[in-house]
Amino acid sequence: MTLKNDLLLRAARGEKTERTPVWLMRQAGRILAEYRAVREKAGSFISLATTPELAAEVTIQPVDILGVDAAIIFSDILVIPEAMGLPYEMIEKRGPWFPNPVQTQADVDRLKVSDAETDLGYVLEAIRITKRDLNNRVPLIGFAGAPWTIFAYMIEGSGSKTFSKAKRMLYTDPQLSHTLLQKITDSTIAYLKGQITAGADLIQIFDSWAGILSPEQYRTFSLPYLKQICAAIQEVPKTVFAKDAWFARAEIAQLECDTIGLDWTMNPAESRQLVGLNKTLQGNLDPCVLYADYQTIEKEVKNMLKAFGPQRHIANLGHGVYPDTDPDKVRCFIETVKAYSH
């Protein structure tokens, strides 16, 4: 079946588009009252993410309510450690927490390479339901966390400003680190392939904690594993978003990916120069712009669109939309992209 709106896929492949496609990271979330209602019905974040019908419902909400050009499956990057045998909890206002973080080689040995269909079937089912209910209106994005980012949580046991426990492991036991990173990578490749089989039209890899590594450590403990994933996934376009890794843009450009996500610290013109002409760039409005008045939002969005140019750009924020953002301001962002980029 042909998609009614395939702007995102065409932009990712470098084909000509009538206007710039637009979507937002964390678009299905607390900014929408409709999401909060479904979340309440589910009882918790994790039960919402693991109930396919409800996950599909909140995935589609931003398409209906905000008019974005793509849906992104409602899930969490930390489903992978759970599927490997390391369960987590989501603590309200604090974020993810692993009761038994990885500390020793024996802990790594106990973990398995997860099977997409048996261990993560609920995500694949949510993708199948979403595809059916979207009825080819817009593409559906699947995603996973980058191995380094997943590793960081599995060792640290929770979010952190420094991830010093995770980084300490890279220095003190590189062999354990590489063994665990490889297990995460193998699980992630199988998971993304499962998502594509279930109907994902494009996949994004989130390296949320890329920027806390030195360039040398990023080269050793992140890029080789991103390279494996990008090489293994050939069926759909791929986006790599490495937050704060401004130092690695030229190297990320060497990966077999189609789109590179930029945060708001990365200048579009400089990024284009580093990346070259054969990749699409995604981003990169500062999410805090959406706290401003409508006039300021319009001005900032237009400046962003001018900086990227009309082709090979997917408009997005430089990180996820903040939960206390007014949905009307988000709508202003989306509508400005649509109107201005014609």
Rounded-to-integer distance, Cα 83 and Cα 239, Å: 23
- Quote the pLDDT of residue 93: 83
Contacts of 129 (CB under 8 A, 6+ apart): 52, 53, 56
The answer on pLDDT for 173 being more than 90 is yes
Catalytic residues: 26, 30, 39, 76, 153
Mean pLDDT of 175-192: 98
Mean pLDDT of 233-248: 98
Mean pLDDT of 35-59: 97
Task: Give the chain's domain count.
Answer: 1
pTM for the full predicted model: 0.98
**Looking at the domain assignment, is residue 115 inside a domain?**
yes
Mean pLDDT of 189-211: 98
The CATH number covering residue 117 comes to 3.20.20.210
- Quote the pLDDT of residue 64: 98
**Looking at the domain assignment, is residue 102 inside a domain?**
yes
The answer on pLDDT for 1 being more than 80 is no
- Quote the pLDDT of residue 341: 78
Q: Which residues on adjacent β-strands are paired with residue 315? A: 22, 283
Annotated binding-site members for substrate: 26-30, 76, 153, 208, 319
pLDDT tens by residue, 266-304: 999 999 999 999 999 999 999 999 999 999 999 999 999
Nearest to 282 by CA among 335, 219, 205: 205
Rounded-to-integer distance, Cα 73 and Cα 90, Å: 18
Q: Is 246 helix (H, G, I), strand (E, B) or coil?
A: helix
Tokens representing residue 94 in the block? 């604090």
Mean pLDDT of 148-166: 97
How many Cα atoms occupy the beta-carbon half-sphere of 338 within 13 Å?
11
Q: Which residues on adjacent β-strands are paired with residue 241? A: 206, 261
The answer on pLDDT for 172 being more than 80 is yes
Calculate what percentage of the chain has a pLDDT beyond 70: 100
The answer on pLDDT for 342 being more than 90 is no
Contacts of 139 (CB under 8 A, 6+ apart): 3, 5, 6, 8, 9, 69, 70, 71, 201, 202
pLDDT tens by residue, 312-334: 999 999 999 999 999 999 999 99
Report the alpha-carbon angle 148-151-152, nearest 5: 85
The answer on pLDDT for 13 being more than 90 is yes
Host H or E run for residue 322: none
pLDDT tens by residue, 105-129: 999 999 999 999 999 999 999 999 9
Mean pLDDT of 236-252: 98
Rounded-to-integer distance, Cα 225 and Cα 222, Å: 6
**Looking at the domain assignment, is residue 1 inside a domain?**
no
Q: State which residues form the domain around 43.
A: 7-340
- Quote the pLDDT of residue 92: 84
**Looking at the domain assignment, is residue 35 inside a domain?**
yes
Annotated binding-site members: 26-30, 76, 153, 208, 319
* Residue 179 binned pLDDT confidence (cut-offs 50, 70, 90): very high
- Quote the pLDDT of residue 321: 98
Mean pLDDT of 32-38: 98
**Looking at the domain assignment, is residue 2 inside a domain?**
no
Tokens representing residue 302 in the block? 């237009």
For CA atoms 22, 26, 30, 34, the dihedral sign is: positive
Write out the E strands in 122-250.
140-145, 202-207, 238-242
For CA atoms 243, 247, 250, 254, the dihedral sign is: negative
- Cβ atoms of 337 and 20 within 8 Å: the answer is yes
Supply the mean pLDDT for the chain: 97
